[in-house]
Structure 1
Amino acid sequence: MSNTATRTEMVNDPESTRSNPLVPPPKLRRRPALVVAAAVAILLGALLGGWAWTATTNTEELLVARTTIERGAVIEADDLARVQVNADPALSPVPASLFDEIVGQRAAYDIAAGVLLTPQTYTRSLIPDAGSSIVGVALTPAQAPGLALSPGDRVRVVVTPALGDTPPTGGESFSEATVAGVHVSQETGQTVVDVLVPHAEAALVAARAATGNVALVLDSRER
């Protein structure tokens, strides 16, 4: 009875209540920085997911050179590989569906291992053929067009006067040709353009190119 009475007195005693106040629950503080960080993380995740989906859905199966294929060599099945890549359509890459059509054709020029095949990298005929010849023309930047040359471009090898000479007169001072390949000489640093000319004109073009007094003119690329 004494314990019960004591508890009753403590409950009814206002002084006892004031000496033992009830502790209010803690207030949750909002942190705006954490909310913003979470929103940014969610947004980045969505963007990355969209990019990954786009990258994987835009890939296509293309043909690539498994090994280096030398110019003029017959392209064998073991020379090619199928790869899934996201290639620029402007490059006109060859789809893997043309695998059987490409095998048996010849490399139009040297194709390094790992390079995507394009319609310009292969041909059904060997270059040069029986009626044509290849002549290398070494050019300085002043003798070459400003635009980059590509196989198939039609050009003219124009005779230029030597220092102090007058321009040549009488007869044609140029030879029409087609670009077969372009590379930079490791010895001189000059651009060497391999041009395809008729067999009968090869000696004349080579003699003109040997003097160094020539320039290359790029004609229309319209076909």
Structure 2
Amino acid sequence: MRQDLVGDEPAASRPPIVAAARTQRRPLFAVLAGLLILLGAAGGALVFLSTGSSVEAVAARVSVARGQVMTAEMFTTVQIAPDQQLSLMEASELPLLLGKRAAHDVAAGSLVSPEAGMEAMVPGSGRTVVGLSLPPGAEPAIPLLVGDRVRVILTEPAYACAAGETTESLDGSPATAGCTVNVVIPGTVVATARDEASGQVSVSVDVAAADAPRTAAAAALGRAALVLDSRDT
């Protein structure tokens, strides 16, 4: 005889009850995401503003030695953000440098300042440039630079005495022993080159026009030596 079930069904025959999934909010992650978005926007704005306010400045393409005549091939232009602490020359001012001599050494890749050029003419009024070819030992071991203050020492001034010239001692007073003292001629280096094979050094020295004849004569006879004076200004 079939008996109807009264009441609850057995647990095994009931479908499982699925609890509604609850969305868990994590406020910290939301805040961090917002901060990242703000930082990205701020960075983009900074890059845009810095690019928009940059200036085109002059930089040295190659090394430029003090005293060299400057040409357009020596320089290039770079984009740089303006800085009150930097002394720079804008690209529009580059023509002002061309044809001038470098007032100081300029390293390759460095910015060029407005004071980089000078108008000096060599030789100046009352001055003469004399070429000296010096054997090893007749010049300092320190490499000579354009602008160096030097003294040309005439090591055997007998030819000057024979020509009736008055020689001077090292302190500038008249010589008392005829041709046995050295003659000292101050000058400034305007160009220099070295022959690596022979060790011979060619130096062009700016001297007073009155000293040029005996300086050139001593150089031709191989009776001249060069000494370097202090580079402190």
TM-score computed with the length of structure 1 as normaliser: 0.49
TM-score computed with the length of structure 2 as normaliser: 0.48
